[in-house]
Structure 1
Amino acid sequence: MTPQELANLAHLRRARDLIDRDFARALDVPTMARKALMSPAHFSRQFRAAYGETPYSYLMTRRVERAMALLRGGMTVTDACMAVGCTSLGSFSSRFTELVGETPSAYRAREHSAVEAMPACVAKIRTRPARHSTGTAAGAQVSRIREAALTPAE
């Protein structure tokens, strides 16, 4: 790797850290790009090449991840949506369903005792949202596998 490529990765990490830290703030690509010392278009291309998803997609994944924790704690869907920085309940619900495989209301309503019994570091990894299609057999199977992994053995 060239010194320039290493420097670009360091700048991209700064922008990713901004997203991780300030996900609830109003963040846009130009703001993230400034943190990475790049133009917005170049930043978007470089971010996707480095992390496999667009900056906005990464931001929404972090927001959904935090919303999952808030919903497990009993917060309402609307309050969780606003707490993580989303302004549209419809867009939030659509993205949540796309990433988690079920609606925020259904996620909030189901039992989460297995997650509560795990150490926080393990729960964070096991409950991290992963993009999958819920309308396909493969998507349904992924949901069942993830659910089985979180259900305690009897």
Structure 2
Amino acid sequence: MLLRSTRASWHDRAVDDSRRQARLRELTLLRRVRDRMDREYAHPLDVEALARSVGMSAGHLSRQFKRAYGESPYSYLMTRRIERAMTLLRRGDLSVTDVCFEVGCSSLGTFSTRFTELVGMPPSVYKRSADDHGMPGLPSLVVKNVTRPIRNREARRRTPRLA
């Protein structure tokens, strides 16, 4: 009986180790996809092409990406594009339409809607406010962190104070 439990225990550990290694390989592939989106945000990217590049199906990539990073690949890509758009709008030398196409969006309406969802104001208002209240003298890294878009689920919820 002791021999059987030892054998079963060894087998369980081997299976767990194999699963762990498979998960690490998958996380490496997901990181590769995320890095590609960070680099090529301005290019047309779709989930099918990203999945093909790492040998996964689009559905599996979407599910595992969301599991690993908390948001879908499309949502992640749009957040990167909006962050870059914020930088370009703060710079002030491009129109909202030019910024839209510069960051890889093909529809001004979709760009404006997503920008408003993430930033809390339309891109034209953001551009004007950046012109009015720029942050001269601050390093770009600090400005980027301070103005980073915050998704609704990331915003802190206020707990009601009971008297």
Give me the TM-score of the superposition, normalised by structure 2: 0.77
Matched, 1:118 2:133: no
Specify which of 1, 17, 24 is matched with residue 6 of structure 1.
24
Which position in structure 1 is the counterpart of 2:85? 67
Distance in 2 separating the partners of 1:44 and 1:91: 21
Give the paired residue count.
134
The offset of 1:124, in angstroms, is 2.1
State the AA in 2 paired with 1:99.
L
Shift of 1:79: 0.3
Cα distance in structure 1, aligned partners of 2:52 and 2:150? 28
Deviations 1:4-56 (A, max 9, x none): 11111100000000100000100000111123321110000000000000000
Whether the 8 Å CA contact 2:90–2:134 is kept in 1: the answer is: no
Matches of 1:102 and 1:51 in 2, distance apart? Answer: 25
Residues in 2 aligned to 1:107 and 1:48: alpha-carbon distance in whole angstroms:
29
Q: Does 1:97 align with 2:116?
A: yes
Distance (Å, rounded) in 2 between the aligned partners of 1:48 and 1:35: 18
Aligned mates of 2:113, 2:137 — CA distance in 1? 29
Q: Which amino acid aligns with 1:127?
A: T
Post-superposition Cα deviations, 1:53-89, rounded to whole Å, max 9, x if no partner, equal: 0000001000000000010111210000010011110
What corresponds to 1:76 in structure 2?
Answer: 95
Kindly name which structure, 1 or 2, has the bigger radius of gyration based on alpha carbons. Answer: 2
Say which of 83, 103, 109 aligns to 2:128. Answer: 109
Unaligned runs of 5+ in 2: 1-18, 158-163
Q: Is the 8 Å Cα contact of residues 101 and 132 (structure 1) preserved in structure 2? A: no
Residues 107/8 of structure 1: CA separation in 2 closer, same or farther (3 Å cut) = same
Identity fraction in percent: 55
Matches within 5 A, 1:17-56: 17-56=35-74
- Comparing 7-16 with 120-129, greater Cα deviation is found at 120-129
Tell me the C-alpha RMSD between the 2 structures: 1.8
Q: Using the TM superposition, give the Cα deviation of residue 112 of structure 1 relative to its aligned residue in structure 2, in angstroms.
A: 4.0
Whether 1:129 and 2:149 are equivalent positions in the alignment is yes
Give the letter aligned to residue 151 of structure 2: R
Q: Structure 1 residue 126: deviation in Å? A: 1.8
Structure 1-normalised TM-score? Answer: 0.81
